[in-house]
Structure 1
């Protein structure tokens, strides 16, 4: 029995590749021009396509923004998975801080543009909320032993404080307003998280 070769739709593949390059061009410009949203003409020039090519794939710039944010989420999930979940308290704090700090360092300008330009867009508001929820979920995973020692209300309040502490805006202020180096900013987060999270009796000694 012969097996028919799978047909590859070359036109569709090229269109998807063009779409990805447009998204990547938008991301580069959004980082460089933050918080201003790049224009269609700027995006087209950066991607090496016509403005018409952009609007053949995205109904408007807002749809392109949403696609770019989703692309970033996928990148973060692929490049910054939870590490060291089974480690001791010190290593888990350091692992969380380094992973979170690297993500903030890479995407801080895009995040600033996203927050400033979300306007009345339900799609962008949902993505901002989703990003914050993912951060809290990661903290719950990384610091599960410490949260298990807390009462529910104390756990909720501590999680709120930790989310605010390790927010992108917090990283941006440390790096740009206070002029801290990456390692200095890591140190601030590590020491503060260490004070906020409870220690077991063996660790407290």
Structure 2
């Protein structure tokens, strides 16, 4: 997670930590970086409305700039979608810190599911776009792998006491099952196909994960 948070920090550092030698030049750079951020946010806004690759014209119109401005900041649309993916991953990490790591089983379970459900609710549209176009770019495939790795890391952290009771192979298998169970599309299927409310879908995950995990070892 730390590496992902660094991405947004580095991104914002470009805006907030510019040298003070030439206010005029720095002002231009500041505006350019702000324009870049607005273009990224316009891209993400369009994808949330319709999870397919928007055109440069659509992105420019949503951001309030010209198509030329888009390509002055990004050499092509692939570079834009990679930047937007990094920005979204960093936002997701910032909005979903690990909570109640040392709590009892049900406290940890509810905390992890609530956090993951929120991430899925916000991010499923971009995830669908990534899955549909990831074969076009090794960089996008790397982002998909990283996102899944972050999810696995969070599961390991939140359910460490239970997973520690399993032999290595079984522990790996349970982690794989947990990651598949809490996949973005799993959440979307409950919400869209089965018509569950947020709290109902959340409770389904809590129920399923609780039964998939081994017993919590006694403490003390």
Same structural fold, with TM-score higher than 0.5 when normalized by the shorter chain: yes
1:106 maps to 2:122: yes
> Does the residue aligned with 1:117 lie in a helix, a strand or coil?
helix
In structure 2, how many angstroms separate the alpha carbons of the residues matched to 1:66 and 1:201?
Answer: 43
> Does the residue aligned with 2:101 lie in a helix, a strand or coil?
coil
**Unpaired stretches in structure 2, ≥5 consecutive residues:** 1-18
Alpha-carbon shift at residue 70 of structure 1 (Å): 0.2
Q: How does 1:79-158 map to 2 (within 5 A)?
A: 79-158=95-174
Count of residues paired in the alignment: 198
Alpha-carbon shift at residue 202 of structure 1 (Å): 5.0
8 Å CA contact 2:162, 2:217 repeated in 1: no
> Does the residue aligned with 2:136 lie in a helix, a strand or coil?
coil
Counterpart pick for 2:201 among 176, 185, 196 = 185
Alpha-carbon shift at residue 69 of structure 1 (Å): 0.4
> Does the residue aligned with 2:116 lie in a helix, a strand or coil?
helix
> Does the residue aligned with 2:135 lie in a helix, a strand or coil?
coil
Alpha-carbon shift at residue 110 of structure 1 (Å): 1.3
Equivalent residue, structure 2, for 1:14: 31
**Unpaired stretches in structure 1, ≥5 consecutive residues:** none
Q: Taking structure 1 as reference, are residues 153 and 55 closer, same or farther at Cα in structure 2, changes over 3 Å only?
A: same
> Does the residue aligned with 1:119 lie in a helix, a strand or coil?
helix
Q: Deviations over 1:9-40 (max 9, x none)?
A: 11110000000000000000011121x21000
1:33 maps to 2:47: no
> Does the residue aligned with 1:109 lie in a helix, a strand or coil?
helix
Q: Deviations over 1:86-119 (max 9, x none)?
A: 1111000000000000000011111111111223
Structure 1 stretch 6-15 or stretch 68-77: which is displaced more? 6-15
In structure 2, how many angstroms separate the alpha carbons of the residues matched to 1:72 and 1:84?
Answer: 24
Counterpart pick for 2:181 among 153, 165, 168 = 165
TM-score by length of 1: 0.93
In structure 2, how many angstroms separate the alpha carbons of the residues matched to 1:162 and 1:200?
Answer: 16
In structure 1, how many angstroms separate the alpha carbons of the residues matched to 2:167 and 2:89?
Answer: 32
